[in-house]
Amino acid sequence: MLRRLLILAALAFTVIVVILPVVSIFHRAFAEGAGAYWTAVSDPETLAAIRLTIVTALIVLPLNTVFGLAAAWAIARFEFPGRRLLLIVIEAPFAVSPVVAGLCFLLIYGAYGPVGAALADYNIQLMFNLTGIVLVSAFITCPFVVREVLPVLQVTGLDEEKAALTLGANGWQMFRHIVLPNVSWGLAYGVILSAARAMGEFGAVSVVSGAIRGQTMTLPLQVELMYNDYNATGAFAAATLLTFLALATLALRGLLHHFGPKRDQAA
Amino acid sequence: MSLFSRAPLSRRRLVKNSLGAGLLAFAGLAGPAQAEEQEILNVSYDIARELYAALNPVFAEEWKAETGNDLTIQQSHAGSSKQARAILQGLQADVVTFNQVLDVQVLADRGGFVAEDWKSALPNNASPYYSLPAFLVRGGNPKGIEDWDDLVREDVSLVFPNPKTSGNGRYTYLAAYAYALEASGGDEAAALDFVGKLLKNVAVFDTGGRGATTTFVERNIGDVLITFEAEVENIRAAEDDGAYERVVPETSLLAEFPVALVEKVAEQRGTADIGRAYLEFLYSTEAQRIIASFNNRVHDPEVVEETADQFPEVRLLTVDDVFGSWEEAQEAHFGDGGTLDQVFRN
Domain count, chain B: 2
Consecutive H or E run containing B38: strand B37-44
- b/e string for B288-298 if b means 16 or more Cβ within 10 A? bbbbbbbbbbb
Query: Closest-CA residue in chain B for A129?
Result: B91
pLDDT of res. A120: 83
Are residues B177 and B229 both part of a single domain?
A: yes
Instruction: Using CB atoms, pick whichever of B49, B86, B88 lies closest to residue A229.
Output: B49
In 3D, which of B113, B110, B167, B170 has the Cα closest to residue B332?
B170
Given this model, what pLDDT does residue B125 score? 94
Q: Are residue B74 and residue B178 in the same domain, yes or no?
A: no
- What average pLDDT does range A91-113 have in this prediction? 91
Q: How far apart are CA A184 and CA A258, in angstroms?
A: 13
Helix and strand totals (H; E) in chain A? 14, 0
Of residues B122 and B17, more confidently modeled = B122
Q: Are B314 and B247 within 8 A, CB to CB?
A: no
- A134–B contact, CB cutoff 8 A: no
Q: Is B49 on the interface with A (CB under 8 A)?
A: yes
Residue of A116, A225, A234 lying closest to B90 (CB–CB): A116
The residue in chain B having the minimum alpha-carbon distance to the alpha carbon of residue A105 is B89
Helix (H) or strand (E) holding A145: helix A130-156
- Confidence band, pLDDT 50/70/90 cuts, at residue B185: very high
What residues in A contact B166, CB-CB < 8 Å? none
DSSP state of A212: B
Question: Amino acid identity, residue B340?
Answer: L
* A203 close to B (CB below 8 A): no
Contacts of B4 in chain A (CB under 8 A): 230
B217 and B335 inside one domain: yes
Position B23 pLDDT exceeds 80: no
Among the partner-chain residues A106, A116, A229, the one whose CB lies closest to the CB of B47 is A229
Q: Which of B75, B86, B238 sits opposite A128 (nearest CB)?
A: B86
CATH of the domain at B57: 3.40.190.10
Whole-Å CA distances, B67 to A208, A236, B27, B36:
34, 41, 12, 9
Of B1, B74, B83, the CB nearest to A232: B1
**In this structure, is residue B3 part of a structural domain?**
no
B176 and B323 belong to one structural domain: yes
Contact B82, B44 (CB under 8 A): no
A230 touches chain B (CB under 8 A): yes
Question: Could you report the per-residue pLDDT of B243-261, keeping only the tens digit for each?
Answer: 999 999 999 999 999 999 9
Distance of CA A201 to the CA centre of its chain: 8
C-beta separation of A145 from A194 below 8 A: yes
B51, B70, B58: which is closest to B19 by C-alpha? B58
Q: Please indicate, yes or no, whether residues B54 and B200 belong to a single structural domain of this protein.
A: no
The answer to whether residue B210 neighbours chain A at the CB level (below 8 Å) is yes
At B239, is the pLDDT very low, low, confident or very high (cuts 50, 70, 90)?
Answer: confident
Q: What is the pLDDT of residues B258-312, one digit of tens each?
A: 999 999 999 999 999 999 999 999 999 999 999 999 999 999 999 999 999 999 9
Residue B153, pLDDT > 60, answer yes
Specify whether B273 is located in the same domain as B296. Answer: yes
Where are chain A's structural domains?
1-30, 34-266
| Chain B nearest-CA residue for A110 | B89
* Residues from chain A contacting residue B236 (CB–CB below 8 Å): none
Q: Considering the domain boundaries, does residue B117 fall inside one?
A: yes
Report whether pLDDT(B59) > 50. yes
Q: What residues of B are in contact with residue A205 (Cβ under 8 Å)?
A: none
Indicate if B329 and B218 belong to the same structural domain: yes
Least confident of A15-24, A211-220, A248-257, B49-58: A248-257
Q: Is B41 within 8 Å of chain A by CB?
A: yes
In this prediction, residue B346 carries a pLDDT of 65
In a domain, B122, yes or no: yes
Within this chain, do residues B243 and B98 fall inside the same structural domain, yes or no? no
Q: Which of A213, A228, A231 lies nearest to residue B76, judging by beta carbons?
A: A213
Q: CA B179, CA B198: separation in Å to the nearest integer?
A: 12
Asked whether residue B297 is domain-assigned, the answer is: yes
- Which residue of chain B is at minimal alpha-carbon distance from A102? B86
Chain A residue with CA closest to B40: the answer is: A212
> Which residue range forms the structural domain that includes residue B75?
8-130+256-310
Contacts of residue B49 in chain A, CB cutoff 8 Å? 213, 225, 229
Same domain flag for B240 and B282? no
Residues B94 and B203 in one domain: no
In percent, the amount of chain B with pLDDT more than 70 equals: 90
Percent of chain A having pLDDT more than 90?
53
Q: Where are the alpha helices (DSSP H) in chain B?
A: 8-29, 49-67, 80-88, 101-109, 118-121, 123-126, 148-151, 167-183, 188-200, 209-217, 229-238, 263-269, 272-281, 285-293, 301-306, 319-323, 326-329, 339-345
Contact A72, A150 (CB under 8 A): yes
Give the mean pLDDT of B150-172. 91
Who among B47, B88, B92 is closest to A228 (CB)? B47
**Interface mutation target, options B74, B91, B207, B216, chain A, most CBs of A under 10 Å:** B91
Query: Does residue B88 belong to the interface with chain A, where contact is any CB pair within 8 Å?
Result: yes
Contact B49/B294 with Cβ under 8 angstroms?
no
Q: Say whether pLDDT at B33 is over 60.
A: no
Q: Report whether pLDDT(B26) > 60.
A: no
Inter-chain touch A233–B2, beta carbons under 8 Å: yes
Q: Which helix (H) or strand (E) holds B253?
A: strand B251-253
Whole-number pLDDT of residue B10: 41
Report the gap between the CA of B126 and the closest CA in chain A (Å).
23
Residues from chain A contacting residue B211 (CB–CB below 8 Å): none
- Whether residue A181 lies within 8 A of chain B, CB to CB, comes out as no
Residue partners of B323: CB distance under 8 A and separation at least 6: B174, B178, B329, B332, B333
Q: How far is B16 from chain A (nearest CA, A)?
A: 24
User: Is A111 at the interface with chain B, CB within 8 A?
Assistant: yes
Same domain, yes or no: B265 and B276: yes
Pairing type for strands B158-159 and B224-228 reads: parallel
B60-89 residue pLDDT tens: 999 999 999 999 999 998 888 889 989 998
- Fold classified for A34-266: MetI-like fold (1.10.3720)
* pLDDT above 70: residue B11: no
Chain A residues inside the 8 Å CB shell of B76: 210-213, 216
Residues B318 and B201 occupy one common structural domain: yes
Indicate the average pLDDT of chain B.
87
User: In whole angstroms, what is the distance from residue A211 CA to residue A191 CA?
Assistant: 27
Measure CB to CB from residue A128 to each of B46, B90, B238 and give the nearest one: B90
**Which helix (H) or strand (E) covers residue B325, if one does?**
none
Contact (CB<8Å) A210/B74: no
